[in-house]
Amino acid sequence: MLISLYDGEALSRLVSDVGTGMNIPSEYNGREQSYLKHRILKEYLDQWGVKIGSTARQGPVKLWYVDCFAGPWKNRDQGLRDTSIAIGLQALEEAAATWRTHGHEIRLGAIFVEKDRSAYQQLQTYLAKRSSDIDIHPWHGKFGDHVQRIIDVIEADPAFVFVDPTGFKGVGMHFIAPLMRQRMRDVLVNVMFNDINRFKDDPRSFLRQQMWDFFGLTEGSMPSGLAENELMALYRRNLKRNCDVKYAADLAVPHPTHERTWFRLVIGGKHPKVLEVFRDAERKVIGQEAANVRTLAKQKAKEDRSGQLSLGAVVSPQRDRWYDVQNDLDCRNAICALKALLREHGRRKFGSLWPELLEDYHVTKNDIARLVIAAANDGELLIEPERRRRSLVRDDEWVSINGVIEREET
């Protein structure tokens, strides 16, 4: 049954309600890629806050959320629920509530930097109305101009740094680096891939300089003609080298209606748990939720073109093909890479293997464990100590090519 599309906002809410039961806030209509980005942010922050908050068992701790390009940008919800501002504050409060119920002392702090005056005024108005015990610092100006001020305020406290620009100007890696020198610091960078891809080979000198700064290049020039994965590998390498992070990984947020990348989110941190949480969030949001989000977005785009709305149920797949194709390929590549590492270095503890693979491939820790167990069942690998029935591999267990265990990691 088809009816005339006379009330776009009301009907878009209707479309959101007839999918697989997952409602997408109407504020994200037309910007579903931002919804997926914010879902990744929320999933990661929730785990980060609880994990870092656990240090309160050893004494009082203060957690910081630092939003370097706060906005709000293109928000449509008057309460700013569709912004990283609200998501960050809520994640801090929920983490603190978790540990406070056990009698542990957690204090909270947040810093929001925004250079656009109009957006900054919206930010101030929102924060002034929000009741919270968070120590909040809203600052007007460029991110780079406030780096030392951020350092002075958060000192050596744990901090999650969110870098979500509207482009790539003013996002030099040399601004991020000083914020990552302390322990217990994670950074999530939104690489605006659609913009980067347009201008990465532009010969104009000011754009070349902006690219060098963004990719953390200190000498030589930006390599030309790099494909998407090569660009992101370059960014991750330089993030690790320049910003004192041991682990870095990225994921692709697809365009809601086309089969191409819109954002690339890059995580950096000092503990392998960073990778595990990030890849689990990727599987949940990009691998599962995105199927419904993109199905609804494509249907709405079709209805906008035709001027008519179908009232039939929107049936979304349980998995997103975009993710599954990449995950299937990377599972095959990851087990080959794991075997190559074992052939080169001899047996390794599982806890030293999976982080290296999660950096380069869109797989989870559980994926790697499943692949290792399957290879062991086929007689290709050996897991020590041996068990008759095995459903998991512990970090302290040894993995080797079957029959090759004479070399051990140092």
pLDDT value of position 312: 58
Statement to judge: residues 83 and 147 lie in one domain: yes
Statement to judge: residues 296 and 195 lie in one domain: yes
pLDDT value of position 404: 55
Statement to judge: residues 89 and 193 lie in one domain: yes
Residue 362 is part of a domain; what is its CATH number? 1.10.10.10
To the question of pTM greater than 0.95 for the whole model, the response is: no
pLDDT value of position 20: 39
- Of 276, 303, 330, the residue that ends a domain is 303
Statement to judge: residues 165 and 235 lie in one domain: yes
Question: Domain residues for 352?
Answer: 320-401
Is 337 a domain residue?
yes
Q: Which residues of 68-84 are buried (b: 16+ CB within 10 A; e: fewer)?
A: bbbbbbebbeeebebbb
Dihedral of the alpha carbons of 76, 82, 88, 94, in degrees to the nearest 10? 120
Q: Kindly state the average pLDDT of the residues 217-231.
A: 83
Ranked by mean pLDDT, the top range of 118-127, 210-219, 393-402 is 393-402
Per-residue pLDDT of 350-365, as tens digits, reads 999 999 999 999 999 9
Q: Kindly state the average pLDDT of the residues 132-142.
A: 94
Is 314 a domain residue?
no
The two structure tokens encoding residue 79? 């309460």
Rounded to whole angstroms, the Cα distance separating 251 from 191 reads 10
The mean-pLDDT minimum among 181-195, 360-374, 391-405 falls in 391-405
Residue 192 is part of a domain; what is its CATH number? 3.40.50.150
Split at pLDDT 50, 70, 90, the class of 383 is very high
Q: Kindly state the average pLDDT of the residues 375-395.
A: 93
Statement to judge: residues 132 and 18 lie in one domain: yes
Q: What is the mean pLDDT of the chain?
A: 86
Statement to judge: residues 350 and 392 lie in one domain: yes
Is 409 a domain residue?
no
pLDDT value of position 410: 44
Whether residue 349 contacts residue 395, with contact meaning beta carbons closer than 8 Å, is answered with yes
Statement to judge: residues 270 and 192 lie in one domain: yes
Is 77 a domain residue?
yes
List residues bridging with 110 in a β-sheet.
65, 136
Q: What percent of the chain has pLDDT over 70?
A: 88
Is 349 a domain residue?
yes
- Of 303, 332, 354, the residue that ends a domain is 303
Is 408 a domain residue?
no
Q: Which residue has the higher pLDDT, 99 or 373?
A: 373
pLDDT value of position 21: 42
Statement to judge: residues 298 and 324 lie in one domain: no
| Domain count along the chain | 2
